[in-house]
Amino acid sequence: MKRLISFILCVTVALSLTSCSFGGVKKKLTDPDLTYSMEELEELQTRELKISDYELPALYKYFEGKCRIGVVTDGYEYTNYETDDRAKGILKNYNAYVLENAMKPDHCNPAPGVYDFDAADAFVKTGELGSAELRAHTVVWHSQVPEWWFKADPEDTGSVKECYKKGRLATREQLEERLRTYIDELVPRYKNTVKYWDVVNEAISDNDNIIKDHTEKSYWSEIFGDVDGDGYYDDYIEYAFNTVREVGGDDLVLMINDYYMEWDETKTQKMYDTVERMLRKGVRIDGVGFQSHIGSDIDIDIYRKNLEKISGLSKIYDECFPEYKGNFRIQITELEMNMRVGELADAGFHPWSDEDYAYQADVYYRLFDMLMDFADQGIIDLILFWGTDDGHSWINSDLKENVPLLVDRKYRVKPAYWAVARAAIEHSGK
Ligand code: XIL
Name the nearest CA neighbour of 305 among 253, 350, 370, 363: 370
Name the nearest CA neighbour of 186 among 102, 115, 97, 289: 115
Ligand 1 centroid to residue 194 C-alpha, Å: 19
Residue 71 phi, psi (nearest 5): -155, 160
Q: Give tens-digit pLDDT for 153-193.
A: 999 999 999 999 999 999 999 999 999 999 999 999 999 99
Residues contacting 173, CB < 8 A, separation 6+: none
Q: Is the peptide bond before 30 cis (omega within 30 degrees of 0)?
A: no
Q: Whose CA is nearest to atom 13 of ligand 1?
A: 201
Q: Whose CA is nearest to atom 3 of ligand 1?
A: 394
Rounded distance between C-alpha atoms, residue 97 and residue 118, angstroms: 16
Name the nearest CA neighbour of 68 among 83, 58, 56, 76: 58
Residue 211 phi, psi (nearest 5): -110, 140
| Residue 330 pLDDT > 50 | yes
Ligand 1 centroid to residue 206 C-alpha, Å: 18
pLDDT band per the 50, 70, 90 thresholds, residue 22: very low
Q: Where are the domains of the chain?
A: 1-30, 31-428
Taking each helix axis as running N to C, give the angle between helix 118-129 and helix 85-93, from 0 to 180 degrees, rounded to the nearest 10: 60
Ligand 1 centroid to residue 100 C-alpha, Å: 7
pLDDT band per the 50, 70, 90 thresholds, residue 400: confident
* CB-count exposure of residue 120 (10 Å: 0-12, 13-18, 19+): buried
* CATH, range 31-428: 3.20.20.80
Whole-model pTM?
Answer: 0.94
Mean pLDDT of the region 94-114: 98
Q: Whose CA is nearest to atom 7 of ligand 1?
A: 394
Three-state secondary structure along 233-295? CCHHHHHHHHHHHHHHCCCCEEEEEECCCCCCHHHHHHHHHHHHHHHHCCCCCCEEEECCEEE
pLDDT band per the 50, 70, 90 thresholds, residue 251: very high
Mutation pick for ligand 1 pocket among 138, 212, 334, 395 (CB with most ligand atoms within 8 Å): 334
| Residue 14 pLDDT > 50 | no
Active site residues: 202, 334
Ligand 1 proximal residues by C-beta, below 6 Å: 100-101, 201, 291, 334, 394
Mean pLDDT of the region 251-266: 98
